Copies of this chain bind each other. A is one copy, B any other.
Amino acid sequence: MFESAELGHKVKKSVYEKEVPALREALLDVQLELAEVGAFQMIILIGGLDGAGRGATVNLINEWMDPRHIQTHGMGEPSDEELDRPMMWRFWRALPPKGKIGVFLGSWYTWPIINRVKGRTKTADLERSLERAKRLEKMLVDEGALIIKFWLHLSKEKQRKRFKELEKNPLTRWRVSKRDWKHFKQYDKFRKVHEVVIRHTSTAESPWLIVEGEDDRYRSLTVGNTILKAIHDRLERVNSPMPKSLAPPLILPIDNLHILKTLDMTQSLDKKDYKAKLEKYQARLNELTRDPKFKYISVIAVFEGNDAAGKGGSIRRITGALDARYYQVIPIAAPTDEEQAHPYLWRFWRHLPRKGRVTIFDRSWYGRVLVERAEGFCAEADWMRAYSEINDFEAQMVRHNLLVVKFWLTITKDEQLRRFKDREKTAFKRYKITEEDWRNREKWELYEQAVCDMVDRTSTQLAPWILVEANNKHFARIKVLKTLCDQIELKLKEVYESGIDYLDKPRK
């Protein structure tokens, strides 16, 4: 796999000095065009062996191109805020916006590799994290990102030679650490693992580019030309039409029997009964969030539902029982331009809570497969892939001891009409009802299908959908509260039983 990166590639000084000026000019041209068009972001991963020139390559990119449009990220030890969230959070956090170039020294591959070499994990674990990385990269590419993964390689002999040289010179001695020599002793182990990584993750959309690291001039020209061609080619394809979905169309069952129809919408609670249960479950919810082990988990409650189904009211019944220091309500409105410049999941990643907290999303990432689908805001291919991207997203949260509870509040078409009219009558509710609500209402069946498909495809064991019959507000609020309590109780039980390992760090 590394054969052609051990041939001792070299470039003559004369050739180098002849080529560089033109290359730099071309690089700057395409980079500035990218910055102006702003159609996609470029992500450059720089992996490989110590001494193969990773740092030098980062500096080279910053020197040859316009550093104002480059963001360099060295991924060292994660902070406690990062440890509090799923592993990928710190990378989402560092993701460059469209028009920019993000250079990553150390990536989502670094720790899986080191953990495997050190024997902390098994091959199965390694492969699982590689699958995760592949899915992340696929999603980024589908979202328009351009990914280049450089792998800087040295033969064992060359690495030893390189270290020796650096150590000879007092000015470069510092570049060789004890750690470097320790890794050198494990060269063969690393090489084996590196092969597995490169084999598993050289995909059609983002293959690894293995570059021999010994000769600075060869390495620099190779990296430079690769980046140039990559941006250039992509810029040419920017205006090509959106991908059509090859998947068969989703249709409602012929007999028109679907899951929403199976709900008993007549269920209700009288006021007295409601008040009693409200007090009971709010007290219970509060108690649960003050459980000593609650500091080790966090809760994501997602609220979706028909317009006027009563999301706000249910949310307030929850927050009313919580300590205001430990919950956040995130209303999802139109994205800011910083959000628009990133993959659609970025704006939700940025709101993931730390441990011991409750975050309530008033509308959520499901907008992609609901309103964006129904209104045609994104191509079919895009909302079709969103189902699995969302399942991935939620799986990462659950794996990290985040409890994800998703509520779909459903009301009948007649009940919605009644509430719309009522809102128009009551002054301080009027702000809740807009032209858009009436327009959406006309597409009732379209949304209904979107909801059924959403439930079918994203109601997972890890994060099931709770369908809430909301024609009666009392009934709905209690069902929401009770479900939330039950789910948290289960999660806490799980935490008590499982000895938590690296997650074992309570809320700050």
Binding site for B on A (CB under 8 A): 21-22, 24-25, 27-29, 32, 54-55, 58-59, 62-63, 66-69, 71-72, 74-81, 105-106, 170-171, 174, 279, 282-283, 286-287, 290, 312, 315-316, 319-320, 323-329, 331, 333, 336-338, 354, 362, 427-428, 431, 508
Inter-subunit contact A362/B68 (CB<8 Å): yes
Q: List 22 A-B contacts (CB under 8 A).
A: A21-B427, A21-B428, A25-B427, A54-B324, A55-B324, A58-B324, A59-B319, A62-B316, A63-B316, A67-B312, A67-B315, A67-B329, A67-B331, A71-B328, A72-B324, A72-B328, A74-B325, A76-B508, A170-B283, A174-B286, A174-B287, A336-B337
Inter-subunit contact B290/A72 (CB<8 Å): no
How often does this chain occur in the complex, in copies? 2
The 5 closest A-B pairs by CB, nearest first: A74-B325, A68-B331, A25-B428, A24-B428, A25-B427
Chain B residues positioned under 8 Å from A174 (CB to CB) = 283, 286-287, 290
Inter-subunit contact B431/A66 (CB<8 Å): yes
Inter-subunit contact A81/B81 (CB<8 Å): yes
Q: State the Cβ distance, A74 to closest chain B Cβ, in Å.
A: 2
Inter-subunit contact B77/A508 (CB<8 Å): yes
Q: What's the dominant secondary structure at chain A's contact region?
A: helix
Q: State the Cβ distance, A347 to closest chain B Cβ, in Å.
A: 11
Q: State the Cβ distance, A37 to closest chain B Cβ, in Å.
A: 15
Known A66-B431, A67-B331; further 5 A-B contacts with Cβ < 8 A: A27-B428, A59-B316, A67-B362, A171-B279, A337-B338
Residue ID in chain B nearest A336 by CB atoms: B338
Inter-subunit contact B21/A508 (CB<8 Å): no
Q: State the Cβ distance, A505 to closest chain B Cβ, in Å.
A: 11
Inter-subunit contact A354/B79 (CB<8 Å): yes
A431 contact from B28, B312, B338, Cβ within 8 A: B28
**Most-contacted residue by chain B among A32, A58, A337, A508 (CB, 10 A):** A508
In the complex the two chains form, what is the Cα distance from A283 to B166 in whole Å? 13
A325 contact from B27, B59, B106, B320, Cβ within 8 A: B106
In the complex the two chains form, what is the Cα distance from A508 to B72 in whole Å? 18
Residue ID in chain B nearest A320 by CB atoms: B59
In the complex the two chains form, what is the Cα distance from A362 to B71 in whole Å? 13
In the complex the two chains form, what is the Cα distance from A336 to B340 in whole Å? 12
Residue ID in chain B nearest A282 by CB atoms: B171
**Most-contacted residue by chain B among A22, A78, A79, A105 (CB, 10 A):** A79
In the complex the two chains form, what is the Cα distance from A67 to B431 in whole Å? 12
In the complex the two chains form, what is the Cα distance from A213 to B22 in whole Å? 73
Residue ID in chain B nearest A21 by CB atoms: B428
Chain B residues positioned under 8 Å from A431 (CB to CB) = 28-29, 32, 66
In the complex the two chains form, what is the Cα distance from A320 to B68 in whole Å? 16
Q: State the Cβ distance, A202 to closest chain B Cβ, in Å.
A: 25
A68 contact from B24, B287, B323, B333, Cβ within 8 A: B333
In the complex the two chains form, what is the Cα distance from A155 to B171 in whole Å? 69
Residue ID in chain B nearest A58 by CB atoms: B324
Q: State the Cβ distance, A53 to closest chain B Cβ, in Å.
A: 12
Chain B residues positioned under 8 Å from A326 (CB to CB) = 74, 76
